[in-house]
Amino acid sequence: MFDKKEIKKEIEKLIKEEKIGEKHWSDSQDIEQLSMELVMAGITLFFWQERNDNSDYWTQTEYYSGELKKTIIWDYDAKDLFESFDEFVDYIYKTNKDIADFESRITFKK
């Protein structure tokens, strides 16, 4: 798992390679596409997914649990607009850490 400094470095690398724009993290419209690039680059364990129900729209974070072999909705009403690059990195770091901690506690009874 990446620490905050490594997350910043990897995102800056994606920006330099022009795979993502510099301000995608501050645009809720772009967060879903950005998150796919971050997952493919191995930076995040999760992705943002926009959902809707008639006229109601929300963004949730999801990840695939290797332990459970299922997609897990991690946060039903996830933050999808960030005021700063550091806030975005903090969110990624904390969410990655929380998911890794959760995955490490999954046990199955025999």
Domains in the chain: boundaries: 4-104
Question: For strand 56-65 and strand 47-53, is the pairing parallel, antiparallel, or unpaired?
Answer: antiparallel
Predicted confidence at residue 31, as pLDDT, reads 79
Q: Does residue 27 surpass a pLDDT of 70?
A: no
Predicted confidence at residue 85, as pLDDT, reads 86
Q: Does residue 61 surpass a pLDDT of 70?
A: yes
pLDDT above 70 covers a percentage of the chain that reads: 89
pLDDT above 90 covers a percentage of the chain that reads: 37
Q: pTM value?
A: 0.84
**Phi, psi angles (nearest 5°) of residue 61:** -105, 140
Per the CB < 8 A criterion, the answer to whether 73 and 60 are in contact is yes
Strand order in the sheet with 47-53: 47-53, 56-65, 70-75
Query: Which has more confidence, 94 or 23?
Result: 94
